[in-house]
């Protein structure tokens, strides 16, 4: 066992609240299983530890001062019939233990090399009915100094959804678009991110996360708008939480509104991917809140541009009181760009051309909106 409590100078990274947890502490939560796997498809490679849970829990993560002992504390969580000691990948860790103390469960990882807490990723996955998976808490521990043995295929559909491969670029933009967008401040909000993966889809038995798709649309949209001379403000440009890990919905969404409000943006576009239990459902919806006379117009222009350029079912322009639409001080729209649970759509959303095509349609919508109000 690691002499953790005495030795650790606990650096608390976050008070973790799983997205679907209630603000009260989870009672009767239990770790029902632990799996681990060495993954060579990351750069660097990493060891993924996944704990199955019967419900969402509060968790905290900490590391000691030399960075050799990493710990995740699952509050008010008991340990089910699960092995308590693991010999995992010796490239990353010497020993992993699970223990229960005072009603909390501890995952302790003795690392072979010192690590920084920011490099260890902890995130939650909601239950996934299709894959028959429960609540999960996932810990990804990098294998430091290992050579990447896995080479990404250039056009692999499952990896192209990963925006980490996106390279900043400039686009050819019409002079009309330039004259309309020049100097406009536009805030782009790629939905979800970091500990919040958003909706989950599947390709070939692998999970696909909404947070990666929204970013893979937002990044080319950013560059198209910049190429037209707009000032683009992004709520995030990488796979991260905007407010902080495991935040409740309101502070997380307010942080996104703050980015737009503080930049005095002229328009706010939140990008999301929909999901539904019935996989035949697909289509795009533009949501707005009629807080100003221009919110509906923005939604209509974005929606129309989407229908003009994408072959996607029409689910209309709808009024709603989504947080980001209500709490932004400028005209704003929340675009649901198809269903991740639809087999045809998720292929398009994770292709190399799909997100770019969606970005182009959103770009056209913004050009049409700003030319309509000028
Ligand atoms: Zn979403």
* pLDDT, tens digit (0-9, with 9 covering 90-100), for 197-226: 999 999 988 889 999 999 999 999 999 999
Q: Quote the pLDDT of residue 147.
A: 57
pLDDT at 2 exceeding the cut of 50: no
Same domain membership, residue 321 and residue 278: yes
Q: Quote the pLDDT of residue 157.
A: 36
Report yes or no on 150 lying in a domain.
Answer: no
Of 108, 142, 176, the one marking the end of a domain is 142
Q: What's the N-to-C CA distance of the chain in angstroms?
A: 68
Torsion of CA 322, 328, 332, 336, to 10 degrees: -40
Cα 288 to ligand 1 centre (Å) = 15
- Backbone φ and ψ for 222, nearest 5 degrees, come out as -55, -50
Cα 341 to ligand 1 centre (Å) = 13
Torsion of CA 191, 197, 202, 206, to 10 degrees: 140
Cα 256 to ligand 1 centre (Å) = 13
Residues 305, 227, 306: CA angle, nearest 5 degrees: 10
Cα 55 to ligand 1 centre (Å) = 21
CATH number of the domain residue 14 falls in: 2.60.40.3500
Q: Quote the pLDDT of residue 188.
A: 98
- Backbone φ and ψ for 312, nearest 5 degrees, come out as -150, 140
pLDDT band at 155 (very low <50, low <70, confident <90, very high): very low
Cα 158 to ligand 1 centre (Å) = 19
Same domain membership, residue 129 and residue 166: no
Same domain membership, residue 122 and residue 185: no
Domain of 91?
A: 4-142
Report yes or no on 152 lying in a domain.
Answer: no
* pLDDT, tens digit (0-9, with 9 covering 90-100), for 125-140: 877 776 778 889 999 9
- Backbone φ and ψ for 158, nearest 5 degrees, come out as -80, -30
Cα 273 to ligand 1 centre (Å) = 5
Cα 324 to ligand 1 centre (Å) = 12
Q: Name the residue with tokens 């019939």.
A: 81
Q: Name the residue with tokens 């349609």.
A: 361
Number of domains in the chain: 2
Cα 185 to ligand 1 centre (Å) = 23
Q: Quote the pLDDT of residue 78.
A: 95
Three-state DSSP at 171 gives coil
* pLDDT, tens digit (0-9, with 9 covering 90-100), for 10-57: 444 444 444 444 444 456 899 999 999 888 776 788 899 999 999 888
Report yes or no on 296 lying in a domain.
Answer: yes
Cα 203 to ligand 1 centre (Å) = 18
CATH number of the domain residue 164 falls in: 3.40.630.40
Cα 147 to ligand 1 centre (Å) = 35
Residue in 373, 370, 372 with CA at minimum distance from that of residue 180? 370
Cα 95 to ligand 1 centre (Å) = 37
Same domain membership, residue 237 and residue 133: no
Model-level pTM? 0.66
Angle formed by the axes of helices 354-373 and 210-227, nearest 10°: 50
Average pLDDT value over all residues in the chain: 87
């Amino acid at each position: 066992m690691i002499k953790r409590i005495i030795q650790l100078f606990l650096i608390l990274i976050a008070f973790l609240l799983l997205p679907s947890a209630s603000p009260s502490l989870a009672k009767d939560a239990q770790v029902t299983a632990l799996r681990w796997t060495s993954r060579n498809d990351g750069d660097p490679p990493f060891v993924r530890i996944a704990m199955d849970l019967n419900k969402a829990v509060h968790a905290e993560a900490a590391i000691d001062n030399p960075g050799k002992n990493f710990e995740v504390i699952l509050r008010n969580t008991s340990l089910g019939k699960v092995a308590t000691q693991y010999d995992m990948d010796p490239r990353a860790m010497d020993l992993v233990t699970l223990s229960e103390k005072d009603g909390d469960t501890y995952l302790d990882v003795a690392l072979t090399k010192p690590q920084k807490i920011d490099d260890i990723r902890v995130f939650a996955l909601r239950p996934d009915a299709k894959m028959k998976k429960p609540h999960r808490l996932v810990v990804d521990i990098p294998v430091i100094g290992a050579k990447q043995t896995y080479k990404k295929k250039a056009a692999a559909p499952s990896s192209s959804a990963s925006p980490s491969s996106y390279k900043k670029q400039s686009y050819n933009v019409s002079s009309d678009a330039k004259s309309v967008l020049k100097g406009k401040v536009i805030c782009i909000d790629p939905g979800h991110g970091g500990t919040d993966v958003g909706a989950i889809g599947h390709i070939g038995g692998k999970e696909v996360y909404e947070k990666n798709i929204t970013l893979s649309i937002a990044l080319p949209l950013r560059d198209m708008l910049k190429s037209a001379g707009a000032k683009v403000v992004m709520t995030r440009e990488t796979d991260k939480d905007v407010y902080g890990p495991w935040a409740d919905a309101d502070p997380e969404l307010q942080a996104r509104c703050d980015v737009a409000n503080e930049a005095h943006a002229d328009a706010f576009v939140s990008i999301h991917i929909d999901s539904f239990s019935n996989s035949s459902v697909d289509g795009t919806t533009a949501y707005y809140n009629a807080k100003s006379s221009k919110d509906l117009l923005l939604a209509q222009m974005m929606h129309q541009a989407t229908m003009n350029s994408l072959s996607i079912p029409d689910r209309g322009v709808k009024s709603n009181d989504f947080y980001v639409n209500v709490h932004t001080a400028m005209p704003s729209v929340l675009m649901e760009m198809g269903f991740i649970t639809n087999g045809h759509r998720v292929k398009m959303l994770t292709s190399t051309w799909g997100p770019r095509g969606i970005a182009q349609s959103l770009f056209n919508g913004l050009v049409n909106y700003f030319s309509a109000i000028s």
